[in-house]
Chains A and B, each alone.
Chain A
């Protein structure tokens, strides 16, 4: 070694807004930063257990939280891929409805066997993802605009198929059995979620594909110059998001046993909230699978307790929205210097530009 350059720069950037050294040590050791969600979750459980023990501390509550949130989780897993590649997908919520409507309509109106209906629905969902992907990568439309337009087209299909919003019911039991079993008392949807989460985790964090996908989202030009086919990454992310939403739509139809033409809209915010909140957990600053799962169950537990405690319908939206804004604000304030995800920090870069720039700050 020829020269020792003291690590002033690091200290320099860490300084504003960072806790002082001894406190930081404690925070690190307890994992209060990366695992804060788990601590908050435990706090929720404790509070509700003391407040409403009769209704909250029951097997039914555990089962319903686990089962109800599985769909949110599955759809969120797909959205992680799109966002990690730097693309927004606003079409997944209506696509979820479309998958629900299509699969239901194929079985009830067209009398197709459930297996075929599922396959055709998956194909339709795949097609939506492919079109989204082509619009963004080949035509070059911003992903927000492309998927917003797509979402309106999908809504048109839904209206057409349901004749302007009629419910569809009366599915064969071979279809409703997809979502109803509870082996060992565990809702099977939660098991599906776990299985898909394992696959997503492998793809995103232990396969070259995932590294390339994240590189594309975090620095598209640098990723391209490192030999990554960034268009393919964005395309894959949007397709993954569409497929997950389609699976979610099929499963929810099976779970409820009827199709509502507005079912998907309720998923838009919770899914985004979960994925963004997930970036503050486990792998801080990155869209990641386990962080998202933690976020989902954290939000679900919070909401469930409030509902059981007598809260009204609006409490769910209020809670989800507030939790999302609070958590992401804290995350952005905490890791400005890390340059984490560009999507989270929208608009921040310009403002920073007028502040005294540091040599190593990200662009």
Chain B
């Protein structure tokens, strides 16, 4: 009986082993694999942003993030105080992060400190055995140029939001770094690589004892921009701490050569993890540093609109070509007096003189003759009132007022008197700096409007054709040439030798003339100063639109010199010499080394150099010569 029991019990045990080893073996084989294999992501570096000549504008630098392994909640609980202590973090902070990561599967480690200091790295390396919940993750972090250079164009990156993850159809996973604004967002799919996976064999206390196959990260692709580093540099320096925006286009191709918006922010602040306070500060700043004014500021165009009016006048043939108006300094329309900016009056003016001297009365008059329908038709046809289609997120459409618009929005008929204000670029009309560069460039090109773009492309650029009669183009461009090159022209002080530099200034009051005079005349009144310039006169290569906001000066004084310097720099460069004024100062030193910095990035990190090199102060450009007021 005892013997039978022995045989029976042995059979019973063997059945138990059979059950585990034969019947359930697949299940346990997977368990065993999971046990010993720890997946560690390999972060793919984002593609660089290069300028049109291949110089690195936005690059990466290697860095480490601190990962918390959360597979075992008891272990995490146990070591959390030590972790907080060793990494100079507060326990509350860690607990909050854990709480926030609750929905992420436990086997996925979370980043508790995105930027590990050398001290943190040393701490983690030396406590690998006794604190088994920490791991270092090698990452690439975005390195943006110092001094907010190109900030609004490049945009910035940040951790993907839960909404973005949901909307991405599995493309993004929590913790991914994605573009949040600007080109980073626009071309995120190109720039963002595919993270790889290293599968490490670990033992029971989490130490790595070997490696399995490694799935390499696929780095993001670099993008080459149309931005010209040299011109951008000039533009950034010209702006210094002014408020406003700049767009420089090649109207032949739509390529954006430079783009500035001020005030700006430092995208490097976002590259790690923007602090809540910083975020609130940036968002609630009345100066709206996050706004890209070049494409998002919708402002009255001021006298720049007179170019649109001139084109409309000539194209519509509503009035004879030699139509002229006598300007006594003011004129009465619909029972209301409208002043010219020149109280003494301009005398008898034809179209050319009106453009050169920016005579308001002339344009009031033709505005009345054309009527709002024709004005809005041509304004829209010349590129205003809708986005230009530039490859940046968030472009604003601006506004071209029309009878239809007034009825739709304000539910009343168009007041004929409003047309008079619209004719000189005041009133409800709103444009963005990119639209001004686009429209003026397109007019100068004879009615070919190339879609502005920042990504260098071999493909044909989409364009809007609104063919203008050669005579129209001739007269309008001749007018803008006169502005710069005729004695008495509003831009005469800004003329350039050996360059067919054409332009038009504009000064939009932030208040109407009437309201302004009631609060005490024009002195001390804030204005938006516009200037748009291009060269050469026929088939222009560069068009630059600048707005300087919140100055008490006129567009010709504030914005004009900036445009002039950009155009000058463009021609200087074309002639083969780098603009010396800019190549030798501190700013360009910081930036000029950028390509070198990038290739030497690992060495830099090894030396323990801080990734964000403190930016040297920007030297202010020399004071521009005083421009003649409009």
A binds B: no
A binding-site residues for B, Cβ under 8 Å: none
B binding-site residues for A, Cβ under 8 Å: none
